[in-house]
């Protein structure tokens, strides 16, 4: 019997859960039906029994768990890559493994070798080779079969190295592929190049020294990738397979701090292995250092010329994000400094064709659709600067930077629990996780986000540790979490905090939120007594981890909030008239209307986000009672300045209550208005019903 990838993943989820896991939770995690889960569990239990292990147990009303002896055995084999166990590779794993053989073991690239390593038939391997050959061709590499020699790959060495980097980052970023990871490591260490573990440790030591010199901390995954790339580079230099870097590009690289760090690495490598690294290979190390994902980066060490262009790009991105999202970041400087920590390596990765491994990309796009949509709009500034399209994986990580800042709250809550986060996914992911946890648990303060290396290097005086990697709890309790928290995972965190600290570890429920609003405008005496009375008044029975609801566009723009007029006297009247339905509905006070007008007078016509479209808004504290949106259609354009581009016929007033709740509706609105035909139809509409129909069609398309 074969344990295929899906069942191995399902078994891994059950094994890693610290409490019995309900079937409905597995359905959401695996994205399959309940019937499929039951069928897979039956197959898994048969397989476990064949291994003389106890099967998965089911505790009625609680969920599924693995007995201790089975769990320990599965954990051990998982880390060993399921060696000796039957494991069926997925299509993606098979193709990655074949690519690795072609790139790393060119002399062994034969059909028999592919079949032996993947465990697949000749026909299945042949089918995979068609796809691989096409991918190589699109990267200017030619894969040919030569009788007696096997498969040979022709093309530039620097392109081959980039493809090797792609394979490494993809394989190492997927925790559920231990078999594949171990196979690739064996290929790198197989030949008589003396690549024993202590020498790999020496290379990592050189990278740690480079970190200190550059004032940054690489992610753990990045250290693994770079150390392997250096081993591969040394082997290929020995084989006289050398990269070539354009002279002009070399001159640019030599001006960077990373080049000087790479030069010192090259000299020490030369002394350790008695090899002379050519200048182009030093530049190759430089490119990879520049494109590496980081946890922290000290920008005071960089020459102004290195960052001036990227700082302008980041400034424009943040400005546009504020405009499109209709938010104002209180700590804009902090956001820009944080964002450039990711944009800098992103820029170099795009420039030098270095791929990023981001297994979270799909999850980010699904869980943060609205923020991803807005982030994608502002990426054009980086795209113009680099001259290359931005991959979804890069956009997803930058989405986390914006998302983390949007979910930050100005907390005036007494700190009850001090925590650290151990996360290997870099700055953006760590910040998003920090924001989610601090907003979830009242009184929680995350004092630091760390890589696994940083965590292991010193002791911490905290109440709890949150970690995306497995850490064996010692004195301080550990709560293991994924990088992106779903509703189910938030409930799990809440449950664990209650188990550890009792009911004081409460989630910010509705009474908490009401109290926070009250504290914005009044001094509260007897805070706990007031909260108890609010709780009694609301009689809330909603789940404590309930997600913040984000209304759809058609819930905000209704016939009641839409007006169709021919013309107005000036732009001030257009804002007052457009806002009137929200005043009548008590969604906003008149002071909010005045604030929107003052913003335009002070900041200029920034609210005209596109030709014919203006979205006036102000801060929530200026007079928003509840979330609202209203639309005024004008047949004759109103002028927000003397320039033609600042004329508008669609005036959409937004009254936001925070930085997040309006984002779904806003994303749907921008999607609607990005189509010029929709804008024309809105302007030509003769009745409010037709406007509502158009909105409904757009959000269901």
Domains annotated for the chain, with CATH where assigned, are: 3-87 (1.10.10.10), 89-190 (1.10.10), 197-295 (1.10.1790.10), 303-406 (1.10.1790.10), 417-509 (3.40.50.2300), 553-700 (3.40.930.10)
The DSSP result for 318-381, as a single string, is HHHHHHHHT---TTHHHHHHHHHHHHHHHHHHHHHTPPPP-TTHHHHHHHTHHHHHHHHHHTHH
Residues 402-429 have pLDDT tens digits of 888 887 655 455 778 899 998 877 766 7
Biggest CA–CA distance in the chain, Å, is 87
pLDDT confidence band for 132 (50 / 70 / 90): very high
pLDDT confidence band for 453 (50 / 70 / 90): confident
Burial, 108: exposed, middle or buried (Cβ in 10 Å; 0-12, 13-18, 19+)? middle
- pLDDT, position 546: 39
User: 216: which strand partners?
Assistant: 297
Q: What span, in angstroms and rounded, lies between the C-alpha atoms of 75 and 524?
A: 52
More confident residue, 508 or 183: 183
- pLDDT, position 77: 59
pLDDT confidence band for 539 (50 / 70 / 90): very low
pTM comes to 0.71
- pLDDT, position 31: 67
Burial, 115: exposed, middle or buried (Cβ in 10 Å; 0-12, 13-18, 19+)? middle
The DSSP result for 499-555, as a single string, is HHHGGGS-B--HHHHHHHHHHHHS--SSHHHHHHHHHHHHT--S-TTPPPP---HHH
Give the rounded percent of residues in the chain with a pLDDT score beyond 70. 87
Reduced to 3 states, what is the DSSP secondary structure of residue 470? coil
User: Does position 249 have pLDDT exceeding 70, yes or no?
Assistant: yes
Residues 196-211 have pLDDT tens digits of 556 778 888 999 999 8
Q: Please report how many Cα atoms fall inside a 13 Å half-sphere around the Cα of residue 602, on the Cβ side.
A: 7
Q: Are strands 464-467 and 478-480 parallel, antiparallel or unpaired?
A: parallel
DSSP 662: T
Q: Which of 44-48, 239-243, 362-366 holds the top average pLDDT?
A: 239-243
* 132-141, 238-247, 290-299, 615-624: segment of lowest average pLDDT: 290-299
Give CA 162 to chain center in angstroms: 23
- How would you list the strands of the sheet with 444-450, edge to edge? 444-450, 417-422, 464-467, 478-480
As a residue count, the chain comes to 701
- pLDDT, position 547: 42
User: Does position 529 have pLDDT exceeding 80, yes or no?
Assistant: no
């Amino acid at each position: 019997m074969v344990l295929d990838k899906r069942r191995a993943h399902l078994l891994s989820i059950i094994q890693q859960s610290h409490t019995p896991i309900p079937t409905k939770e597995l359905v959401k995690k695996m994205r399959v039906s309940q019937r499929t889960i039951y069928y897979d569990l039956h197959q898994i239990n048969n397989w476990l029994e064949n291994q003389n292990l106890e099967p998965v147990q089911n505790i009625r009303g609680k969920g599924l768990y693995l007995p201790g002896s089975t769990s320990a055995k599965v954990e051990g084999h998982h880390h060993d890559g399921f060696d000796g166990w039957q494991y069926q590779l997925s299509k993606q794993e098979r193709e990655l493994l074949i690519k690795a053989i072609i790139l790393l073991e060119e002399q062994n690239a034969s059909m028999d070798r592919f079949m032996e390593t993947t465990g697949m038939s000749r026909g299945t391997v042949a089918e995979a080779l068609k796809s691989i050959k096409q991918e190589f061709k699109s990267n200017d590499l030619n894969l040919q079969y030569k009788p007696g020699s096997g498969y040979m790959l022709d093309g530039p060495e620097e392109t081959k190295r980039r493809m090797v980097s792609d394979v490494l980052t993809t394989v190492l970023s997927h925790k559920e592929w231990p078999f594949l990871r171990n196979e690739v490591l064996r290929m790198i260490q197989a030949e008589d190049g003396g690549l024993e573990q202590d020498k790999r440790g020496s290379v990592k030591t050189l990278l740690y020294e480079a970190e200190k010199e550059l004032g940054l901390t690489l992610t753990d995954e990045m250290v693994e990738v770079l150390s392997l790339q250096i081993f591969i580079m040394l082997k290929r230099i020995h084989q006289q397979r050398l990269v070539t870097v354009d002279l002009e590009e070399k001159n640019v690289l030599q001006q960077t701090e990373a080049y000087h760090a790479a030069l010192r690495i090259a000299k020490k490598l030369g002394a350790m292995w008695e090899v002379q690294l050519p200048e182009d290979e030093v530049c190759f190390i430089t490119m990879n250092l520049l494109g590496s994902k980081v946890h922290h980066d000290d920008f005071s060490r960089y020459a102004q010329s290195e960052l001036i262009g990227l700082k302008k790009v980041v400034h424009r991105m943040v400005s546009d994000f504020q405009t499109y999202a209709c938010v104002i970041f209180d700590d804009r400087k902090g956001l820009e400094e944080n964002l450039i920590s990711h944009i800098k390596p992103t820029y170099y990765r795009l420039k030098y064709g270095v791929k990023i491994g981001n297994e979270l990309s799909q999850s980010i796009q699904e869980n943060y659709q609205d923020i991803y949509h807005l982030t994608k709009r502002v990426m054009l500034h980086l795209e113009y600067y680099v001259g290359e399209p931005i991959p979804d994986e890069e956009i997803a990580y930058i989405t986390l930077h914006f998302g983390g800042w949007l979910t930050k709250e100005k907390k005036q809550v007494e700190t009850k629990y001090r925590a650290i986060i151990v996360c290997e996914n870099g700055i953006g992911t760590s910040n998003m996780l920090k924001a989610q946890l601090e907003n979830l648990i009242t009184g929680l303060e995350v004092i630091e986000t760390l890589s696994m290396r940083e965590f292991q290097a010193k002791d911490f005086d905290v109440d709890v540790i949150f970690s995306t990697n497995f850490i064996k709890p010692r004195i301080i309790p550990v709560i293991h979490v994924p990088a992106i928290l779903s509703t189910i995972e938030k409930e799990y965190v809440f449950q664990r905090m209650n188990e550890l600290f009792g009911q004081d570890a409460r989630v910010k429920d509705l009474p908490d939120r009401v109290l926070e609003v009250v504290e914005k405008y009044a001094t509260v005496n007897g805070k706990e007594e007031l909260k108890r009375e609010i709780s009694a008044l609301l009689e809330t029975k909603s789940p404590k981890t309930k997600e913040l609801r984000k209304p759809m566009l058609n819930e905000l723009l209704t016939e009641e909030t839409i007006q169709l007029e021919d013309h107005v006297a000036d732009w001030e009247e257009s804002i007052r008239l457009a806002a009137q339905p929200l005043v009548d509905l008590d969604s906003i006070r008149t002071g909010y209307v005045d604030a929107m007008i003052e913003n335009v007078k002070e900041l200029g016509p920034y609210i005209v986000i596109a030709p014919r479209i203006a979205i006036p808004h102000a801060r929530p504290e200026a007079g928003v009672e509840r979330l609202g949106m209203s639309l005024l259609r004008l047949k004759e354009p109103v002028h927000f300045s003397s320039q033609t581009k600042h004329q508008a016929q669609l005036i959409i007033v937004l009254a936001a209550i925070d930085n997040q709740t309006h984002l779904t509706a806003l994303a749907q609105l921008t999607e609607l208005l990005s189509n010029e035909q929709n804008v024309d139809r809105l302007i030509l509409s003769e009745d409010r019903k037709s406007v509502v129909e158009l909105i409904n069609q757009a959000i269901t398309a």
